[in-house]
Amino acid sequence: MDMQTHIEEKLTAGLLPTFLNVENESHMHSGPATDSHFKVTVVSEQFEGQMLIKRHRAVNALLDDALANHIHALTIHAMTPDEYFEKAGAVPNSPECAGSSK
Pairwise CA distance, residues 57 & 97, whole Å: 22
Pairwise CA distance, residues 68 & 87, whole Å: 32
- At a CB cut-off of 8 Å and minimum separation 6, what does 87 contact? 79
Mean pLDDT by 10 residues, the chain (102 residues): 94 98 85 81 97 98 94 93 88 70 50
Say whether 39 sits in a helix, a strand or coil. strand
pTM: 0.86
| All domains of the chain in start order, with CATH | 3-28+36-86 (3.30.300.90)
Which pLDDT does position 75 carry in this prediction?
A: 93
Which pLDDT does position 76 carry in this prediction?
A: 96
Would the CA dihedral through 56, 59, 61, 66 be positive or negative? Answer: negative
Which pLDDT does position 26 carry in this prediction?
A: 85
